[in-house]
């Protein structure tokens, strides 16, 4: 087998991974569930969760866990005392279960919870999830899962370790629960309905504020300002563009072999080191070529995220929160729209997390594709910033680490 064939074989995602999680994991139903996850009486049968990160989306997600009915918000965690206190009051958490500082997550784990929900700046996700799994806790995590290659690979390792320890590890992407996109992917990878040759992926929004740096890095923790710093959020392509990149990989059915392109900072007086615009070309082992473009210009264009996939006699179009459909020369799938994908994706994943824990489904199928998407976004970020082609294998070998300077912050 040639090196190229070996590369293609190692990168190719098993087509059967695209069936529903319930079908894939049905055989796991006999796995024993942790005794603390399901208790005798209805009042005590709820899964105790510690929700880490109580900013805008973090507090919203905490509310969705509470509204589900199968969870108890046993602890809330935030770096800032006022935010943690407000979250405790909002969600009915006693003051002694509202934890502060960089190590608040460990104090929440130590008081005895069944699961943690990671919704803070992702630089700390590998550390938080490692502590949770060591303590026997399930993990629910936002994207992106990490800011660099070592962190991404650590999450992939932890996903496998969670399976070995009969723990659930779920990563919250929304496009992957869009039923119309699921059906398109199924037709592509199970029925060979479309041979994709080219993909165009894009993520455009108005970006985030980038205030001047201060002597306290914690000032970047609020209002998603952390997305503007590589060492906290990985940069905008990793923190946000990953939605389109994840869909691109899902459609391609494999990870890219290389990426080349450019990026630029366009905002006046940038303070963080995230780039504002990317134009990238990904190449895949099977021969698929994909273009990714993304921007965060404040120019009133609004939000647009999705993918177009092109075959010789076929075409697919999908939009985050918009319409998804595909057609060939002799067939057409009309698809449909999921305008409420932002909340529906979260509520669906929260329900799946509960189902996986209570039914003993611990194969954790979201971890590998999420970490691959994370790595692909990092590949694009680095290729765009360096202005040169980088291969996937070279990125993995380089294993570049990014770490924020947390000195002086409250632990």
Assign 339 to helix, strand or coil.
coil
Domain identity same for 198 and 337: yes
Which pLDDT belongs to residue 207? 84
Instruction: Decide if 347 is inside a domain.
Output: no
CA 258, 253, 248 angle in degrees (round to 5)?
A: 65
Residue 14 domain-assigned?
Answer: no
Please tell me whether residues 292 and 182 are part of one structural domain.
Answer: yes
pLDDT at 44: 60
Domain shared by 86 and 203, yes or no: no
Q: What is the CATH number of the domain that holds 309?
A: 3.30.360.10
Q: What is the pLDDT of residues 72-131, one digit of tens each?
A: 999 999 999 999 999 999 999 999 999 999 999 999 999 999 999 999 999 999 999 999
Domain that holds residue 331: 176-341+370-398
Rg (CA), the chain: 21
Mark whether 91 and 170 lie in a shared domain.
yes
Do 126 and 244 lie in one domain? The reply is no
pLDDT at 79: 98
Would you say residue 3 lies in a domain?
A: no
Residues 183, 270, single domain; the answer is yes
Residues 274 and 286 reside in one and the same domain? yes
Are both 261 and 296 inside the same structural domain? yes
The count of structural domains within the chain is 2
Here the tokens at position 16 are: 């059967």
> Do the domain assignments include residue 108?
yes
Helices 179-190 and 242-252 cross at an angle (nearest 10°) of 30
Other Cβ atoms within 10 Å of 71 Cβ, number = 24
Whether 74 and 166 share a structural domain: yes
Q: What is the pTM of this model?
A: 0.90
Is 218 within a domain? yes
DSSP-derived pairing of the beta strands 138-142 and 314-319: unpaired
pLDDT means over runs of 10, the chain (411 residues)? 40 37 34 40 76 96 98 98 97 97 98 98 98 98 98 98 98 97 98 97 93 95 96 97 98 98 95 97 98 90 95 97 96 97 97 98 98 98 98 98 95 94
The Cα–Cα gap between 151 and 287 comes to 29
327 domain-assigned: yes
- Measured between alpha carbons, how far is residue 378 from residues 151, 330, 353, 408 in Å? 11, 39, 27, 28
Same domain, 107 and 205: no
């Amino acid at each position: 087998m040639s090196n190229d064939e070996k590369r293609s074989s190692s990168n190719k995602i098993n087509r059967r991974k695209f069936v529903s999680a319930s079908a894939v994991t049905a055989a796991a139903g006999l796995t024993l569930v942790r005794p603390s996850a399901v208790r005798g009486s209805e009042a005590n049968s709820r899964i105790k969760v510690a929700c880490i990160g109580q900013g805008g989306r973090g507090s919203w997600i905490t509310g969705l866990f509470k509204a589900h009915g199968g969870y108890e918000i046993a602890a809330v965690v935030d770096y800032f005392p006022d935010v943690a206190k407000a979250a405790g009051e909002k969600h009915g958490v006693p003051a002694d279960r509202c934890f502060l500082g960089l190590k608040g997550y460990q104090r929440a784990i130590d008081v005895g919870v069944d699961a943690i929900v990671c919704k803070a700046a992702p630089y700390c996700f590998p550390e938080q999830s490692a502590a949770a799994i060591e303590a026997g806790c399930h993990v629910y995590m936002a994207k992106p899962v990490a800011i660099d290659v070592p962190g991404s690979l650590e999450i992939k390792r932890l996903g496998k370790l969670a399976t070995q320890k009969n723990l659930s590890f779920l990563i919250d992407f929304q496009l992957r629960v869009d039923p119309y996109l699921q059906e398109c992917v199924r037709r592509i990878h199970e029925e060979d309905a479309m041979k994709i040759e080219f993909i165009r992926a894009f993520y455009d929004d108005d970006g985030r504020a980038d205030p001047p740096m201060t002597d306290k890095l914690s000032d970047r923790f609020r209002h998603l300002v952390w997305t503007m710093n590589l060492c906290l959020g990985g940069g905008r392509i990793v923190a946000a563009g990953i939605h389109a990149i994840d869909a691109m990989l899902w459609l391609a059915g494999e990870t890219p072999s290389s990426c080349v392109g450019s990026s630029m900072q366009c905002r006046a007086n940038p303070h963080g080191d995230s780039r504002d615009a990317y134009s990238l070309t990904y190449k895949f082992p099977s021969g698929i070529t994909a273009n990714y473009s993304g921007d965060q210009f404040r120019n009133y264009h609004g939000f647009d995220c999705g993918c177009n996939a092109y075959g010789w006699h076929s075409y697919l179009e999908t939009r985050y929160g918009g319409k998804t459909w595909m057609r060939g020369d002799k067939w057409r799938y009309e698809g449909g729209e999921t305008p409420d994908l932002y909340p529906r994706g979260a509520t669906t994943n929260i329900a799946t997390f509960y189902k996986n824990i209570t039914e003993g489904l611990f194969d954790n199928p979201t971890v590998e594709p999420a970490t691959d998407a994370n790595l692909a976004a990092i590949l694009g970020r680095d290729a765009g910033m360096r202005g040169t082609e980088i291969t996937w294998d070279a990125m993995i070998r380089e294993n570049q680490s990014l770490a924020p300077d947390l000195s002086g912050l409250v632990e």
